[in-house]
Amino acid sequence: MARNIVEFRNLKTYFYTEEGVVKAVNDVSFSIREGETVCVVGESGCGKSVTALSLMRLIQSPPGKIVGGEIIFDGRDILKLSDAEMRRIRGNEIGMIFQEPMTSLNPVLTIGDQLMEPLMLHKHMTKKEAWNKAIELIKQVGIPRAEQIMTSYPHELSGGMRQRIMIAMAISCDPKLLIADEPTTALDVTIQAQILDLLRRLKEEKKMALMLITHDLGIVAEMADYVVVMYAGKVIEEAPVRELFKNPKHPYTRGLLKAKPVIGRRQERLYTIPGQVPNPIDLGDFCYFSDRCEYTMDVCRKKMPPLVADENGHKVACWLYEGEWKK
């Protein structure tokens, strides 16, 4: 069995606002193995991106702060490293594709300059070596006219091409882990499919682990080996992808799967999960889904359910399974 390349252990990342404390990531634990694709899924604001940014140590402070837990990457606790040590890891051993490439690329630098920078910094290449490697990377992500692209600026490229450049930058130093945060947002369907195919191919070729953040269950079904479902800053269910789709346990996960349209199935209206996501400020110690759940019991509004596992390793945080599974 492959070893864990990253482990989140009871991670807590809070944001301190004038209205109160937002527990964006609240006691989150899960791991990613070498060569594995783990999809972190959930609604907007559930803590998916903040979990990834905590791993990259890119939480803006103030107002944000990692207040507890550990993030073990390749045997080292990321949270205990110096800023200089973290800079050597960021972009080198861990690559990240951000959600919106237009805001992630520097508008006043050419594509070539931005691709060459990590190669010269982390791989100590000469300018000529970095230039040749950058051209190779552009070709690798399927963009023609690589030499012309090197001298272009981000605004001169289409959205799909910018996203491919972001992928080229993220894989340029052959990272052990690639984080992709909603990599197909704002792209049309055909380009989305091409980007996902590209990520899958590069992951296999370079044998990297992939942490894919998304709210699209179609992408999860297509890409994931393992799925982590988050809700209001907590992990509420996790399982291998086939197991999760075949046998979802948590009422929220069931709602997500039920809400996805299915070709060929006649239905009057698309199912929606009732109610609203709770206000994230100063949440108490109880099940955050209790106000939206059809199975709510008294205990749900009084105590936070622990994340428990069955004999197959399928984990769920729900009082419906109290006494059935092990902690």
Residue with more model confidence, 327 or 248: 248
For the chain, domains (ranges, CATH) are 4-93+173-321 (3.40.50.300)
Comparing 198-202, 236-240, 266-270, 313-317, the range with the smallest average pLDDT is 266-270
In Å, how far are 151, 171, 193, 318 from 160, measured between CA atoms? 18, 17, 11, 40
Task: Summarize the confidence of residues 138-166 as an average pLDDT.
Answer: 89
**Residue 158's pLDDT band (cuts 50, 70, 90):** confident
pTM strictly above 0.85: yes
Q: At what angle do helices 111-122 and 159-171 cross, to 10 degrees?
A: 10
The dihedrals phi and psi of 16, each to the nearest 5 degrees, come to -100, 110
Quote the pLDDT of residue 159.
81
**Residue 326's pLDDT band (cuts 50, 70, 90):** very low
Quote the pLDDT of residue 91.
84
Residue with more model confidence, 188 or 108: 108
DSSP 293: -
pLDDT of 143 strictly over 80: yes
Task: Summarize the confidence of residues 169-177 as an average pLDDT.
Answer: 89
Instruction: Tell me the C-alpha distance between 79 and 69, whole Å.
Output: 9
Q: What mean pLDDT, rounded, does the chain reach?
A: 88
pLDDT of 299 strictly over 60: yes
**Residue 327's pLDDT band (cuts 50, 70, 90):** very low
**Per-residue pLDDT reduced to its tens digit, 21-70:** 999 999 999 999 999 999 999 888 889 999 999 999 999 988 999 999 99
pLDDT of 190 strictly over 90: no
Q: Which residue matches tokens 């499919």?
A: 193
Tally DSSP H helices, then E strands, for the chain.
11, 12
**Residue 268's pLDDT band (cuts 50, 70, 90):** low
Residues 241 and 224 sit within 8 Å (Cβ to Cβ): yes
CA 71 to chain centre: 15
Instruction: Tell me the C-alpha distance between 26 and 11, whole Å.
Output: 7
139: left (phi over 0), alpha (psi -120 to 50) or beta: alpha
Angle, vertex CA 223, rays to CA 90 and CA 155, nearest 5: 55
**Per-residue pLDDT reduced to its tens digit, 87-96:** 999 888 999 9
**Residue 323's pLDDT band (cuts 50, 70, 90):** low
Quote the pLDDT of residue 261.
65
